[in-house]
Structures are given as structure tokens and as C-alpha cells.
Amino acid sequence: MDDIDRRLTAADRAHAADAGTLDALAVAARREASLSRHRRLVAIGVSALLAVGGGVVAAPAAADAVRDFLAQSDWFPSPGGEVLPASEWVDTGQPDLRAYLDTLSTDGVELAPGQDRDSLLDAVAESHAANPGLIQEVGLRRSFEVRAYCGWAVELLDAHRDGDDGRYDSAAEHVLSAADWPALVATDGGGITDRLRDVGQAAVDREPGSWLDVYEVGECNLLGYSAVTE
């Protein structure tokens, strides 16, 4: 009997260990699923140069949020990570994303000749819908502002090429003003708006090559903006 008891006890311990292992695996699986969801988040912004800023914030309860669009996500991150306060999360895979974008404030951002708000919002919607995921609302506004910046960068290059001083001066001033645009400021992870201000001021001062620096800092070629650079 003693031998049988020892075997049964050993068997019970083995089963207990297996159950503990399964519980641990289940926890790990849930953690990995959560991390995978985080990895699918769309980065705030479109240019690799423009980094995410802001600190850790506590998001409001989902039940307290008013939602008029499917694109308005009911997901809020747990404390931790790089999120910005008072900026809701948006699911860019929803069919009404473009309609949601119409509600965004783009005040303070003047567009370059040939640009218009609707066309830029169309481009933002197309870009984010092509890579669906979650992004904060401020990130969508930043995508708009980056495209507006690139519009002025191209205008600056074209004015330089054509030798149009008045057009050049106007474009340079608008490029400089981009350093104070609200979404670019809000998502500045450190030194980005300073860099925009530096190249903008250089363009205003007509420093040699500054017109090309303005274009390259915005990585405007990655967004399909092109111009003659000679």
C-alpha cells in the first residue's frame, strides 16, 4: 500500500504541475495576444523622422465616450506606452474613416497653392486604411500636417527653380510656421519641431541648399511629393 500511495501522490503532483503549466501558458498566451495587438498599432504619424511624444496617461472609461462613427474605437490602452491625453483612439480599418476625418480640426494650418483640405484628408484616409490598425486622433491630424508641410516644401523648391522671389519668401515663411502647427508640436518626441524651425529659418534667410533641406527633413518623397531639385 505504501508503494501505491507514493505512486498516487507522485501522479497527483505531476497533474498539479501540468495544470500549473497550463495556467502559466494561458497567461502567457493572453499576454502575447495583447502585445500582438499593440504591435499592430499604427504609429502616430507618417514620417519616420517625426517621433511620438507625450507621457503615460490614464484613458477615460469607454462607456463615458460619445461615439458617432464606427472608426471611433472603444479600446483604450492600459497605463504604459507612448499615448497622448485627450486624444481618442481610432480604428483606421472602419468604412467610415473618411467621414470621421471630416470632423478633425485643421485650424492654423494654411495649405500651399494647389492643395485643398478635402484632397489631403482623402490622402490621409487612403494611407491609413491601407494599413489598418489603431491610431490616436492626433496622429491623423499629424498626417494631415505633414502633407501640408510637404506641399509648402515643394512650393519652395519650385519657386527657387523658377527664380520667383515673392513666391519663395511666402513658401519659406509657411515652412517656418509648420514648427508651431498643433499636431506636430503635440507629437514631438524631442527636437523635431526644433529641426523644422531650423531648416525653415535657414530657408527664410536664403542659406544655400536650405530649400532642399526643407524637402528632405519632411521625407516628402516617401509621401509621393516630388519636385525638381536642381
* Cα–Cα dist 176/174, whole Å: 5
Amino acid at 216: E
Q: 20 CB contacts (<8 Å, ≥6 apart)?
A: none
pTM for the whole structure: 0.68
* Cα–Cα dist 81/106, whole Å: 26
- Digit-coded pLDDT (tens) for 100-156: 999 999 999 999 999 999 999 999 999 999 989 999 999 999 999 999 999 999 999
Burial of 32 (0-12, 13-18, 19+ CB in 10 A): exposed
From residue 187, alpha-carbon distances to 44, 66, 131, 132, 214 in Å are 8, 24, 20, 20, 19
Would you state the pLDDT for residue 87?
86
- The cell for 136 is 490616436
Mean pLDDT computed over 217-225 = 88
Q: 22 CB contacts (<8 Å, ≥6 apart)?
A: none
* Cα–Cα dist 141/45, whole Å: 8
Mean pLDDT computed over 43-57 = 30
Mean pLDDT of the chain: 73
- Are the C-beta atoms of 175 and 214 separated by less than 8 Å? yes
- Digit-coded pLDDT (tens) for 149-183: 999 999 999 999 999 999 999 999 999 999 999 99
Would you state the pLDDT for residue 190?
80
The DSSP secondary-structure symbol of 43 reads P
Q: Using CA of residue 220, residue 224, residue 225, residue 228, what is the dihedral sign?
A: positive
Burial of 181 (0-12, 13-18, 19+ CB in 10 A): buried
Short-list 135, 130, 109, CA closest to 120: 109
